[in-house]
Chains A and B, each alone.
Chain A
Amino acid sequence: DQQVKQNSPSLSVQEGRISILNCDYTNSMFDYFLWYKKYPAEGPTFLISISSIKDKNEDGRFTVFLNKSAKHLSLHIVPSQPGDSAVYFCAASGQSSGTYKYIFGTGTRLKVLA
């Protein structure tokens, strides 16, 4: 049973527009969430994170929103750039789960069109 779900396997966006990537989770014990970006033949690169005590975190062009009641988080990229084209993974973790392992979604492939 997948505890972290990314239901959109792919997304295409025009350069300069907003990219919105979504992630849902089922385990209410998760309290730390992250987004990673992955280019082909490379490892995942940390992008941005959010703790469950917040509902929004911004870092430059990247903003993560957390809706705990809906068990949903989203990543907004504004403006989108061709270099943002990659696979984006949502991950969740929690101290209460007894370990610090990350539970990942299956990823969303973002393509930013020039």
Chain B
Amino acid sequence: EAGVTQFPSHSVIEKGQTVTLRCDPISGHDNLYWYRRVMGKEIKFLLHFVKESKQDESGMPNNRFLAERTGGTYSTLKVQPAELEDSGVYFCASSQLATGYTDTQYFGPGTRLTVL
């Protein structure tokens, strides 16, 4: 079974540009999460989808971040325009059941975003 995949693995952009990160969850997983780790600190929650619906977006830093999950499959996270403080590693995770809070989340390898 394929794990969670993320693309690209690295992205280097200039301040003010736009970047789109993609996440493909494990097949059949209804829950999809985005997290971010900045400067070696804790991994922080950004957003949670259940199928194509946003369940919780309380962690999104501001309206420069836009996440979508069309058709309840893969998800994209767009940053527009990017700022220096957006640099970090963006992780995607997925879990199987739509209602289980004890479901284990499986993480992708992350996308390292550097904003210059």
Q: Which residues of A contact B (CB under 8 A)?
A: 2, 4, 31-32, 34, 36, 41-46, 49, 51, 89, 91, 93-95, 98-107
Q: Specify which chain A residues have a CB less than 8 angstroms from the CB of B42 in the assembled complex.
A: 2, 4, 89, 104-107
Interface-facing stretch out of B11-19, B63-71, B78-86, B107-115: B107-115
- Least CB distance from B59 to A in Å reads 7
Residues from 87 to 116 in B contacting A, C-beta threshold 8 Å: 91, 93, 95, 100-110
The count of A-to-B residue pairs whose CB atoms sit within 8 angstroms is: 68
Residue of B with least CB distance to A31: B101
- B interface with A by C-beta (< 8 Å): 4, 6, 31, 33, 35, 40-45, 48, 55-56, 58-59, 91, 93, 95, 100-110
The reply to whether A99 and B107 contact each other, CB–CB distance below 8 Å, is no
